[in-house]
Structure 1
Amino acid sequence: MQLVDIGVNLTHPTFAADPRAVLERARAAGVAQMLLTGTSLAESEAALTLCRELDETGRTLFSTAGIHPHDASQWTADSASQLRALLSEPEVRAVGECGLDFNRDFSPRPRQEQALEEQLQLAVELHLPVFLHERDADERLVAILRPFRDRLKAAVVHCFTGDKRALYAYLDLDLHIGITGWICDERRGTHLHPLVREIPAGRLMLESDAPYLLPRSLRPKPKSGHNEPAYLPEVLREVARHRGESEEHLAAHTTRCARAFFGLPALD
């Protein structure tokens, strides 16, 4: 089986000591390709640099470039042009992580919405998919996305943790859905168990969101307590169980979906 991890925060300080070892463990676990997440201009540049430094083949590591809603206050008149330059690089395959976070509100909501709308416009102009973040803001996110949707190539709601109403609204907009180790959390993720059955094949992708969201069902647990792409098979197992699919079947269609969404090459 080959897996694609569509969300890895490899620029996080947790991985600074030995990112190559992280990638080696992931590949040994069957994670063949990864998307490194950009959350600010600086982090997007760092993710692109890691792709170039750590992937000699140019076929296994790719990245996103965008400004996270937490950092939306940093959006300036120059941000769009700087981001446009990053998005022109061949390793960068999506706009984001961008979106709305009305849970923590680290940036004022009007600034979040402005940054999101300008990044959606870039995605339209550059014909790139969008990697979306949403917390406690699904109705507002849908309202902002709707006027753009016919012009957007594609969009994925990464790390989906919402309810049935939110899921159906996203699917009605023809969005893709990313599932993380949240589904493995018996304290807060069990509502996802029936919902993952509702996501059509071809719209579902898997992600670690490492170093966050270590699957709580993982045994044995790493001493560090940090998540890694190497643990993505645990997410695969949990999602397959609740969809009533074999792990092999789920791996095949989620990998095919991720490669089509991000324009990734097939590997031997």
Structure 2
Amino acid sequence: MELIDIGANLTHDSFDRAREAVLQRARAAGVVQMVVPGASREHSPRALELARAHPGVLYATAGVHPHHATEYTAECDAELRELHRHPEVVAVGECGLDYFRDFSPRPAQRKAFERQLEIAADLAAAGDPKPLFLHQRDAHEDFMAIMRQFEGRIGPAVVHCFTGTREELFDYLDRDWYIGITGWLCDERRGRHLREFVKEIPDHRLMVETDAPYLLPRTLDPMPRDRRNEPMYLPHIVQELARDRGQSMEAVAVATTATARSFFRLP
């Protein structure tokens, strides 16, 4: 059984002392490829470095998360465009809106989001389309309004780490966007609602991710002492997801792996 983790934040400093061991444990668990999100001016080039050091296994995205929107300058835009010249960078983002934390002012978030959608549109117009790796939390209305401005100009999109409502889910599916499911599903405090409708996501629109080192599944037994999430726990998420969808674990693994390979154009 092969799995693809579409969101493993392996540039995080918590992995600095044991990154190779983390990759080995992932491989032993059946996680054969991983996408490393670039979410800031600092971490987007680091994601590319990791991908180039592990060809065929790691791939990168390049973008600026809404938490870091205030760093989105003309220089930052130029840096991202240069990163997207590399084939190891397989998606634009992580970009979007986050009104839950508001670590950056909302006008700055919207502007940074629009600038990155322009990158995606320009890549598509130049014949090198790349999908979007999107983030949305507590900002659905503004998020949808901005995305509508780019309809017909951008390629496929995945709403990574989906935690929203059923209504939000169908807004995304109605636009043929993809959905990334994480260990949030395993959180009895915050993720119970997801269990009620994840079965409604079509196989060809579903992908899985850990969002490591964040969102350690709360249903792991035993729990790791350091409470750090790793890609090796992706099979646990798939097992929980399969149960909620009324499918076998193997069926979910096959479908999500095929979808991820097609979406990111992975070998």
User: How much does 1:33 deviate?
Assistant: 0.2
User: How much does 1:149 deviate?
Assistant: 2.9
User: How much does 1:147 deviate?
Assistant: 2.4
Provide the residue aligned with 2:21 in structure 1. 21
Question: Residues 188-240 of structure 1: CA distance to partner in whole angstroms, max 9, x if unpaired?
Answer: 10100022111111110000000000001111111110000000011101110
2: CA distance, partners of 1:25 / 1:149: 40
2:259 to 257, 260, 263: 257
Taking the TM superposition and a 5 Å limit, the aligned residue runs for 1:75-224 are: 75-126=72-123, 127-224=129-226
User: How much does 1:140 deviate?
Assistant: 1.2
**Counterpart residue identity of residue 266, structure 2:** L
CA contact (8 A) 1:68 1:96 kept: yes
Provide the residue aligned with 2:12 in structure 1. 12
CA contact (8 A) 1:139 1:166 kept: no
User: How much does 1:131 deviate?
Assistant: 0.4
TM-score, normalised on structure 2?
Answer: 0.96
Taking the TM superposition and a 5 Å limit, the aligned residue runs for 1:54-65 are: 55=54, 58-65=55-62
1: CA distance, partners of 2:41 / 2:130: 17
Q: Give the match's secondary structure for 1:188.
A: coil
User: How much does 1:42 deviate?
Assistant: 1.3
Question: Residues 128-173 of structure 1: CA distance to partner in whole angstroms, max 9, x if unpaired?
Answer: 1010111101121111111213221111000000011111111112
CA contact (8 A) 2:242 2:252 kept: yes
Provide the residue aligned with 1:2 in structure 2. 2
2: CA distance, partners of 1:204 / 1:139: 23
User: How much does 1:125 deviate?
Assistant: 1.4
User: How much does 1:40 deviate?
Assistant: 0.6
Provide the residue aligned with 1:42 in structure 2. 42
1: CA distance, partners of 2:193 / 2:202: 18
2: CA distance, partners of 1:207 / 1:148: 26
CA contact (8 A) 2:100 2:137 kept: yes
Provide the residue aligned with 2:126 in structure 1. none
Q: How high is the sequence identity, in percent, across the aligned residues?
A: 56
> For this pair of structures, how many residues does the alignment match?
262
The alignment yields a C-alpha RMSD, in angstroms, of 0.8
**Counterpart residue identity of residue 72, structure 2:** W
Q: Give the match's secondary structure for 1:232.
A: helix
Q: Give the match's secondary structure for 2:210.
A: coil
**Counterpart residue identity of residue 226, structure 2:** S
**Unpaired segments of 5 or more residues in structure 1?**
none
CA contact (8 A) 1:117 1:144 kept: yes
1: CA distance, partners of 2:199 / 2:21: 34
CA contact (8 A) 2:6 2:34 kept: yes
**Counterpart residue identity of residue 3, structure 1:** L
User: How much does 1:122 deviate?
Assistant: 0.6
Q: Give the match's secondary structure for 1:8.
A: coil
